[in-house]
């Protein structure tokens, strides 16, 4: 039953993202959005930690310290800012230097649609989510400017 409920959650999210993508003129991306969530490598792990109350990715992280499903997902989907990060060695203090590449417009649009669709599907606010978490996001300055303008931040 948990697997069916998780699938329903994904489909609901995909539907709202599709509607937002249609508004942005990126219909095919709306169709293809997050299809990787149905691959066994992402779906099984996420369904295992699905509760209906929060992100299964966060629940998996809490349980085992990381999320394998998320690692697969962000590596397959270019609308996630993490896909555009290139670790570029270490700084003088031994910290990894993260070098963000600029995102093409179609992926910035999809990222905005993803956030809006998630907000509708999960009853949250995309702007509040971004404002709360923006310090953790590593975006190229050009990408950040366009993204924030499109999001209305």
- Residue 15: what pLDDT? 96
pLDDT score recorded for residue 74: 92
- Compute the distance between CA of residue 122 and CA of residue 54 in angstroms, rounded to an integer: 9
pLDDT at residue number 56: 87
Question: What stretches in the chain show pLDDT beneath 50?
Answer: none
Q: Tell me the domain boundaries of the chain.
A: 2-34+77-151
pLDDT of residue 113: 96
pLDDT in tens, 71-107: 999 999 999 999 999 877 777 888 887 889 999 999 9
Residue 129: predicted pLDDT: 83
Tell me what pLDDT residue 58 has. Answer: 87
């Amino acid at each position: 039953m948990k697997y069916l409920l998780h699938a329903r959650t994904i489909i609901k999210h995909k539907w709202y993202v599709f509607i937002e993508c249609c508004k942005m003129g990126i219909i095919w991306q709306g169709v293809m959005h997050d299809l990787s969530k149905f691959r066994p490598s992402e779906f099984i792990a996420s369904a295992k930690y699905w509760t209906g109350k929060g992100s299964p990715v966060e629940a998996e992280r809490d349980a085992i310290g990381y999320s394998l499903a998320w690692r697969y997902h962000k590596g397959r989907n270019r609308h996630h800012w993490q896909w555009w990060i290139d670790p570029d060695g270490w700084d003088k203090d031994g910290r990894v230097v993260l070098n963000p590449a600029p995102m093409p417009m179609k992926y910035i649009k999809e990222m905005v649609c993803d956030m809006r669709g998630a907000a509708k599907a999960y009853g949250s606010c995309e702007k509040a989510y971004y404002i709360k978490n923006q310090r953790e996001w590593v975006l190229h300055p050009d990408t950040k400017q366009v993204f924030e303008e499109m999001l209305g931040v």
